[in-house]
Amino acid sequence: KDNLREHLRAHAGEVTRRKKYKCEHCGKTFHGISLLKIHIRVHTGERPFSCDFCSKGFPSVTALNKHRRIHTGEKPYACAECGMRFSLKGTLNRHTRIHTGIRPHKCPYCGKEFIQGGGLKAHLFHHTGMNGFKCSVCDKVFNRKARLDLHMKYLHLKEKPHVCEDCGKGFTRREDLTRHSVLHTGEKPFQCPTCHKRFAIKPSLKIHMVTHTKEEPRSCHECGRAFIRKDCLMRHMRKRHRDLLDRILLDEEDDRFAPTPVATPGGTASTEGGAKAGAPAGTVARILSEQALCESIRELLGLLVDEPTLKGFGYPDKPVDELLEAVIRRCGHSPASPDDYNYMDRLRENSKLLFTVVIDDNAVKTLLNNQTVDEVILHVLRLAKS
C-alpha cells in the first residue's frame, strides 16, 4: 500500500520526502510502515498467513502466494531464450544471466564470478572464514545457513521424514528415497542395444555403451581364459587368481605413477604434474593439471549428458565445477561439499561420484579400483573417440 501511494503521487506530480521507518531490533530502515511491520515479524517469529495445502506459516500474503505455487505448479514466468518456466520473477531474472553471460558478482580474491550475490557471499567464506554459520552441537562452520540446517536435521536430529510406502524404511533426503524406490519398482527404461542390459537413468546407459567398443581379446596369464574386455579379465583374476593380480597391479603402479620428464623453457626436466624428474615413484598420484582436468570433465559431461539439459545448466559458459554439481543433483544425489574439499579434490570426488553412484556401472567401478579418477576420465574419453 505504501509503495502504491508513492507511485500514485509520482503520477500526480507530487514531490514528497519519503519518511523512513527504522526497525528497533536491527536498525534496518523502510519507506513504509507496512513494510516495517512485515519485517518485524522476522524478529518476532509471527507468521499469521498459513498455507491451505501444508499449513506452513508466512509473514506476508505476498510470501504465501509465492509459496502456494509450489503446490499448484503454477509457473507464470517464461524465459524468452529457451522457454524454461519459473514460479518467481526473481528466479527468471537470475536464469536469464545464463544466456546473457552476465555474472555481476566477482570475488576480489580469485576473480571467480557469480550470478547471485548470495553465491559470492558463500564463496568468500572459503577465503576469509568470516560470516559462517556455526553448529551449536559440534562447532562445525558452514558457508550457508541452508547447509547448517541440513547438517542439524540429518546428523544431530537424525530426522527421516521421507518414508518408503512399500517397506516403511525412512530416509533423511527425498533423493535417497527416490533411489531406494527403484528396488521395489525395478523400473529400468534405458536398454543397451548391444547386450540388452537395462539402466534406470540415461547417463548410466551411455557410459555402459562405451564398454562395448572393440578391444583386442585379453588372456589370463594363469589359466589362459580369454576375455573381450579388460574389466572382465580383472574381475576374473580378482576372483580366481588374487595373489597373481596383486603382483601385476604392484608392477603396473610403479610404472604408472613414475613422473614423466617434460622439457621446460629453462631447460630443466620436470614432470607433467609439476614435480621434478627423479622424484620417487608413487609421488605423482594425480596426472592432470587443473586446466586439463577441467577441460576433460567438461568433455565428459558433453559425452554423457544430452545437450538441452547441459544448456539448461549454463553449458558451455558456466564453470565446470558448477556444471558437474548440477548434473549430480539432477540425478538425485548430493555433490561433495566445499566445506570438506578444496577445489581440485572436489572436482575429483564429484567425478568419482558421477562414475560410481550416478552412472553406477560395474565396469567403471572396476577401473576406479585400479586407476586414478583422472586416468578413468581419460580412458572413457579415448574409448568414446575410438
Domains present along the chain, CATH in parentheses:
2-72 (3.30.160.60), 218-271 (no CATH), 290-385 (no CATH)
pTM of the model: 0.37
Note the pLDDT of residue 4. Answer: 64
Sign of CA dihedral 164, 169, 175, 176: negative
CA 15 to chain centre: 50
Note the pLDDT of residue 311. Answer: 82
Q: What is the DSSP letter of 276?
A: B
| pLDDT tens, position by position, 340-354 | 777 888 888 888 888
Mean pLDDT for the stretch of residues 128-133: 85
| pLDDT tens, position by position, 156-169 | 888 888 898 888 88
Indicate whether 175 pLDDT > 50: yes
Q: Comparing C-alpha atoms, which of 316, 317, 284 is closest to residue 300?
A: 316
Chain mean pLDDT for the chain: 77
How far is the C-alpha of 198 from the C-alpha of 191, rounded, in Å? 4
Residues 301/314, Cβ–Cβ less than 8 Å = no
| pLDDT tens, position by position, 84-124 | 999 999 889 888 988 888 889 999 988 888 888 888 888 88
Residues 284/370, Cβ–Cβ less than 8 Å = no
Q: Which residue has the cell 565446470?
A: 320
Indicate whether 54 pLDDT > 80: yes
How far is the C-alpha of 276 from the C-alpha of 76, rounded, in Å? 59
C-alpha cell at 88: 518467481
CA angle 352, 357, 363 (to 5 degrees): 75
How far is the C-alpha of 131 from the C-alpha of 341, rounded, in Å? 19
Any bridge partners for residue 276, and if so which? 270
Residues 121/131, Cβ–Cβ less than 8 Å = yes
pLDDT tier at 48, thresholds 50, 70, 90: very high
Q: What are phi and psi of 348, to 5 degrees?
A: -70, -40
